[in-house]
Amino acid sequence: MEIKRPMYMDSHATTPVDPRVLEAMLPYFSETFGNAGSIDHAYGAVAAEAVKKAREQCAHTLNANSEEIYFTSGATESDNIAILGVADQYASKGDHIITCVTEHKAVLDTCKHLQKIGKSVTFLPVDQYGLVDPGAVEDAITDKTVLISIMTANNEIGTIAPIKEIGKIAHKHGVIFHTDAAQAVGHIPMDVKNMNIDLLSFSGHKIYGPKGIGGLYVRSSNPRVKLSPIMFGGGQEKGIRSGTLNVPGIVGLGKALEIAGKEMGKAEKQYRQWTTQMFDAFKDEYPSVMLNGHPTKRLAHNLNVCFPGIESKALLHLLRDDLSISAGSACTTTSVEPSHVLLAIGRTVEESHSAVRFGLGKNNTEKDFVIAIEFIKKAINCILKFK
- Would you give the DSSP letter of residue 3? -
- Residue span binding ligand PLP (CB under 6 A) among the ranges 72-80, 127-135, 141-149, 358-366: 72-80
Q: Is position 349 an interface residue for ligand PLP (rule: CB under 6 A)?
A: no
d(CA 298, CA 301): 9
d(CA 338, CA 350): 8
Q: Is position 74 an interface residue for ligand PLP (rule: CB under 6 A)?
A: yes
Residue closer to ligand PLP by CB (options 132, 373) is 132
Helix (H) or strand (E) holding 29: none
- Residue span binding ligand PLP (CB under 6 A) among the ranges 35-43, 70-78, 119-127, 238-246: 70-78
Among 151, 251, 278, 315, binds ligand PLP (CB under 6 A): 151
d(CA 68, CA 53): 13
Q: Is position 332 an interface residue for ligand PLP (rule: CB under 6 A)?
A: no
Among 85, 214, 215, 359, binds ligand PLP (CB under 6 A): 214
Among 32, 57, 159, 183, binds ligand PLP (CB under 6 A): 183
331 as an active site residue: the answer is yes
Among 104, 119, 219, 255, binds ligand PLP (CB under 6 A): 104
d(CA 156, CA 387): 28
Residues near 19 by beta carbon (within 8 Å), at least 6 away in sequence: none
d(CA 198, CA 75): 16
DSSP for 344-369 reads HTT--HHHHTTEEEEE--TT--HHHH
Residues near 4 by beta carbon (within 8 Å), at least 6 away in sequence: none
d(CA 158, CA 297): 8
CA 213, chain centre distance (Å): 13
Collapse the DSSP code of 262 into the 3-class scheme (helix H, G, I; strand E, B; otherwise coil) and give the result: helix
Q: Is position 197 an interface residue for ligand PLP (rule: CB under 6 A)?
A: no
Among 110, 159, 203, 332, binds ligand PLP (CB under 6 A): 203
Among 75, 121, 197, 341, binds ligand PLP (CB under 6 A): 75
Residue closer to ligand PLP by CB (options 140, 330) is 330
Site string for ligand PLP, 230-269 (x = CB under 6 A): ----------------------------------------
Q: Is position 185 an interface residue for ligand PLP (rule: CB under 6 A)?
A: no
Residue closer to ligand PLP by CB (options 76, 145) is 76
d(CA 212, CA 231): 17
Query: One of 58, 100, 306, 331 is an active-site residue; which one?
Result: 331
Q: Among all residues, whose Cβ is closest to ligand PLP?
A: 74
Collapse the DSSP code of 313 into the 3-class scheme (helix H, G, I; strand E, B; otherwise coil) and give the result: helix
What number of other Cβ atoms are within 10 A of residue 365's Cβ? 12
Q: Is position 323 an interface residue for ligand PLP (rule: CB under 6 A)?
A: no
In the complex, the residues that contact ligand PLP under the rule CB under 6 A are: 74-76, 104, 106, 151, 155, 180, 182-183, 203, 214, 330-331
The residues that are catalytic are 331
